[in-house]
A = this chain, B = another copy of it.
């Protein structure tokens, strides 16, 4: 179907998108000189569906194989889980030339990436994302992370994968709510980078479940989203400039997730809420017009994503929480805001009063 390159000064890598890729894991890894030992990390649901096929593929390609299944859910994205996996790596004598494979969604990918970044000062990692969100976002670009009680991904490192293998067919078993969450990131690419993707989504009958998408649109969504992410990451590997635009919707989104204990809204839902807020901030600042704001809102609603803050959430707490965001610079919160479909800018001109007003309107 498609192969997209993330161009980097040190080690570039491919994002390979094709139906049936789960069975190609071993053969695709083979030419990349990834050692002989492989630790596969997954969660119970994904492993039940695709673990056996991934394992057979690895074994037939001649890899020595072990695995670790972690409980599902953001609440296990903790230092404790990292240490459990360190012990598995130790017991199975992983070497610096060995490879850890992440078979799962964003949580599995982030944890696996962090272990690979920090065990023996860095092992190879291969990402096999199984959620829409992980396919178009989390698996690409080398961001790894673990949650701290005070905030999401406060602990983390940059560690690029050696390969990203996407099998669109696995989306058929993805929970509907997870699919919608991933669609929030896809809509994000439409707003920040790819006006054509935005228009194609506007023309789609629905965006809320996979059966409401034409196969052609699903293909477009995966390729265009991955290409958008690859373009940005290739230009700014470690988020010193351009890459900040990928955080569109994430600044307020992270605060919402964190303040509700990561249990009320999914990451994608939080990003959707964050994009609604960011769009309105941009309107308030006169950077983008109400019609564009309505077009974005319509897409988010078409994906059946929430557009209001979770009930009972204290807006003042959001304002405080934003001060601990990773993207705070010299004490000022910086927002990514749209100026046109496909174009965003970064600004620190959002005042607390404007922010309070927009958030109050979303309560």
Contact B121 A36 (CB under 8 A): no
Contact A158 B9 (CB under 8 A): no
Chain A residues with a Cβ closer than 8 Å to the other chain, count: 41
A317-356 residues with Cβ-Cβ distance < 8 A to B are 323-324, 326-331
Q: A121-B326, A157-B117 are in contact. Are A79 and B83 (CB under 8 A)?
A: yes
B residues in contact with A330, CB < 8 Å: 35-36, 95, 97
Quick check: is A150 within 8 A (CB to CB) of the other chain?
Answer: yes
Decide if A52 is an interface residue (CB 8 Å cutoff).
no
- Give A17-61 as 1s and 0s: 1 = Cβ < 8 Å from B's Cβ atoms: 000000000000000000110000000000000000000000000
How many copies the complex holds: the figure is: 2
Q: Is A260's CB within 8 Å of the partner chain B?
A: no
Residue of B whose beta carbon sits closest to that of A143: B121
Please state if A119 and B324 are interface contacts (CB–CB under 8 Å): no
Q: Are B154 and A120 in contact (CB under 8 A)?
A: yes
Asked if A324 contacts B121 (CB within 8 A), the reply is no
Expressed in whole angstroms, the Cα–Cα distance for A90 and B238 within the complex equals 21
Asked if A95 contacts B36 (CB within 8 A), the reply is no
Q: Does A96 belong to the interface (CB within 8 Å)?
A: yes
Contact pattern, A 108-129, Cβ under 8 Å of B = 1, otherwise 0: 0000001001111110000000
A121-B329 contact in complex given A79-B83, A93-B324, A324-B90, C-beta closer than 8 Å: no
Measured in the bound complex, the distance between the Cα atoms of B86 and A132 in whole Å is 32
Known pairs A90-B154, A93-B324, A117-B157 / 11 extra A-B pairs, C-beta < 8 Å: A90-B150, A90-B324, A93-B328, A93-B331, A95-B329, A95-B330, A118-B155, A120-B154, A121-B144, A121-B238, A121-B326
